[in-house]
Structure 1
Amino acid sequence: MTGTTHTRPAHDGQHSVGALVGQATEQFSRLARQEAALAKEELTEKGRRAGRGGGLLGAAGAVAYAGLLGLAAAGAAALALVLPVWAAALVVAAVLFAVAGLLAVVGRGQLRRATPPAPRAAIGSLRADVEEIRERAHR
């Protein structure tokens, strides 16, 4: 059969349905592991942000407590002195409360960036993968 085109038997050159299903299962398994790793990485980052936000809110509480102590000191100063030492203590307390408010706003922003805890990037990537698989399956 020199010079003629030789076609292979179906069982030699083409994969059986079982082999194709096995290959698809293996690829899907590998893809699922990769997506799980991506989700884990994303959740880890969100956890870090939640920790930072919680820490900042804790700091805001501590500064607010210091502000409350400042108000107490202002009351004591007002009783001990007749003039503006207590007013100065009120100004200090107001500044401390302003700092506490700023820390609370920044901390709340960190917590918002950490929520929802769902791994959005991984979910989006998985949806794109599923869509790609669907398109290839229909070709």
Structure 2
Amino acid sequence: MFAQFAEKLSLLMRQEVALAKAEATDSARKAGKGAGMLAGAALAAFFVLLFLSTALMWALGSLMPLGWAAFIVALLWAAGAAVLAVLGKKELDRIKGLPQTRQTIQEIPETLNPTKETP
């Protein structure tokens, strides 16, 4: 009986370790995607502000003082960068850790309780 118990416990622990590895890999992939979106937002904002804002600033500068044109262009591109940052943050917020592993670990003490019958 003890050998069967030890064998089942060993199998359970191996399965839980395998599940934890799979969940960790999935969570890391999702975190990488969200971080990549945030990095892309920062890089895109930099290049957009560097190149397109200059062109748009000069175009608006023909209609108004150049300082005001530069300010308006900066506000427009900041809004675009903010949208990308919000999307990246939402992607990172979707990660909930290792929910299946956490739930199963909470169930282990009930499984090992000698007064309860296990399936």
- Structure 1 gap segments, 5+ residues each: 1-19
Whether the 8 Å CA contact 1:74–1:90 is kept in 2: the answer is: no
What TM-score does the superposition give when structure 1 sets the normalisation length? Answer: 0.65
Identify the residue that residue 71 of structure 1 maps to in structure 2. 53
CA–CA separation in structure 1 for the residues paired with 2:62 and 2:115: 88
- Structure 2 gap segments, 5+ residues each: none
Q: Counterparts of 1:1-139 in structure 2 under 5 Å? A: 20-69=1-50, 70-75=52-57, 77=58, 82-83=62-63, 93-114=74-95, 117=97, 119-134=98-113, 137-139=114-116
**Structure whose alpha-carbon radius of gyration is higher:** 1
Following superposition, which runs of at least 4 residues in structure 1 exceed 4 angstroms of deviation?
Answer: 86-95
Q: CA deviation at 1:82?
A: 3.2
Q: CA deviation at 1:31?
A: 0.3
What TM-score does the superposition give when structure 2 sets the normalisation length? Answer: 0.75
Identity %: 35
Whether the 8 Å CA contact 1:64–1:100 is kept in 2: the answer is: yes
Q: CA deviation at 1:106?
A: 1.4
How large is the Cα RMSD of the aligned pairs? 2.9
